[in-house]
Amino acid sequence: MLDYTKHTLENGLDVIVHEDHRCPIVAVNLWYHVGSKNEQPGRTGLAHLFEHLMFEGSAHNDSSYFTPLQQVGAALNGSTSCDRTNYWEVVPTSALDLALWLESDRMGYLLPALTAPKFENQRDVVLNERRQQYENRPYGMALMALMAALFPSGHPYHWTTIGETADLHAATLEEAHAFFRTYYHPGNVSLTVAGDVETGAALARVRRYFEEIPAGPPIPPVMVGGEHVTPDVASPDGIRLLLEDRVELPRLYLAWRTPRLFADGDAEMDILAEVLTGGKTSRLYRTLVHERRIATDVSAAQGSRELAGWFAITATAAPGHEVDELERVIGNELAALADAGPETHEIERCLTQVEAQFVYGLQTVGGFSGRSDQLNAYNVYTGDPGFMMQDRARYQKVTADRVRDLAATPLTGGRRVALSVVPHGAAGRALAGSTAARVS
């Protein structure tokens, strides 16, 4: 368990302090509770675009955000997901004031420095990132096709975080300003200061830099078709899609809608993924890659998201083999697992691996998945920075019978999206009955 204190300022800012005096460094970590799910159809990509814009300077530091921090030896970065945007710095203890001042300036005073040239420049950067990471990358458009098929049009997970090209081109500076005013204010932020600090002094410093920033408006509820989002929106059933891409080997994606983050079944789906593809002794790796040699790789993962989850199995066909063979063998393995369930030693191996991942995350105070990041994650998603103990308990309660039940439903009970990615001109190598996926 992590020791921490939590305070909420009058403007709504959650402040978490975690002391660790073993090394003279401090992590400053902010989670804005805004991601691509807070966007609207036709106006996607703004959350990720702001991840870039927040590094372009603010009213009292109208230049690169990186330069003053890197000059004192800091490491820093940020990222955007469908549910949140985070920013972090790890600085020498003596540079804590600098980090807090810079973070407070871009939270409270970004818009005066957000000019049309900056906006257009970073939009071009994002469009280029989309080309590099998605459009021109082998299998890069598969995620877009899967999300669009798993989640209906208008659902906040229907699009990916990078945004759609037409939406990015159509975005205006005025829309960006409005998006910032709605979501980037103290009432929608969790701030953690972790490391070589005294709790009282750290809180005083945070108050000094952040307390003057006004509380923002209430956060609009995430809506779908005029209704509040519920986690049990029906999944599509039996969809088969194909994408032609500049690839040499066909790849098969099998995906299902599953429980949302921290919901009943979410932890079990993590364990199921580990049973299937966690290491060279796992069921699918052993069968597809090692024994039959019909795949060059195979992976499975539970995508735990705030509103809904999704589970995917991905396998690349070995030379001389096709995706229909992969589908058949994977289906047989899932059916066997649904019938007999995993063996005791499999569950024990998976639980040991999960426990090791919890321990690994405690090794660092800052950065992605470090202690400061974890405290913010639990605070944003559950309201309790100390939720780690309950989180670990979820996995300790996993049983072989429960994993077997989840292998049976939803994974062998229909409502599946099967996507075949095949070389250009080889649509016939996709699963029979596949239709062309639409991605934008």
Q: Give 82-119 pLDDT, tens digit per residue.
A: 999 999 999 999 999 999 999 999 999 999 999 999 99
Asked if the model's pLDDT at residue 325 lies above 80, the reply is yes
> How does residue 231 score in pLDDT terms, banded at 50, 70 and 90?
very low
Which residue reads 């921090």 in tokens? 69
> How does residue 373 score in pLDDT terms, banded at 50, 70 and 90?
very high
Asked if the model's pLDDT at residue 440 lies above 80, the reply is no
Residue ranges of the chain that CATH labels 3.30.830.10 = 5-220, 239-436
Q: Please give the mean pLDDT across all residues of the chain.
A: 94
> How does residue 234 score in pLDDT terms, banded at 50, 70 and 90?
very low
> How does residue 433 score in pLDDT terms, banded at 50, 70 and 90?
very high
| CATH level 3 topology of 239-436 | Cytochrome Bc1 Complex; Chain A, domain 1 (3.30.830)
CA distance linking residue 140 with residue 337, whole number of Å: 31
Which residue reads 């309660």 in tokens? 397
CA distance linking residue 191 with residue 211, whole number of Å: 13
Asked if the model's pLDDT at residue 321 lies above 60, the reply is yes
The reply to whether the predicted model has a pTM over 0.85 is: yes
Asked whether 270 and 279 are in contact (CB, 8 A), the reply is no
Answer yes or no: CATH 1.10.540.10 is held by domain 5-220.
no
The per-residue pLDDT for range 36-95, each reduced to its tens digit, is: 999 999 999 999 999 999 999 999 999 999 999 999 999 999 999 999 999 999 999 999
The per-residue pLDDT for range 166-224, each reduced to its tens digit, is: 999 999 999 999 999 999 999 999 999 999 999 999 999 999 999 999 999 999 999 76
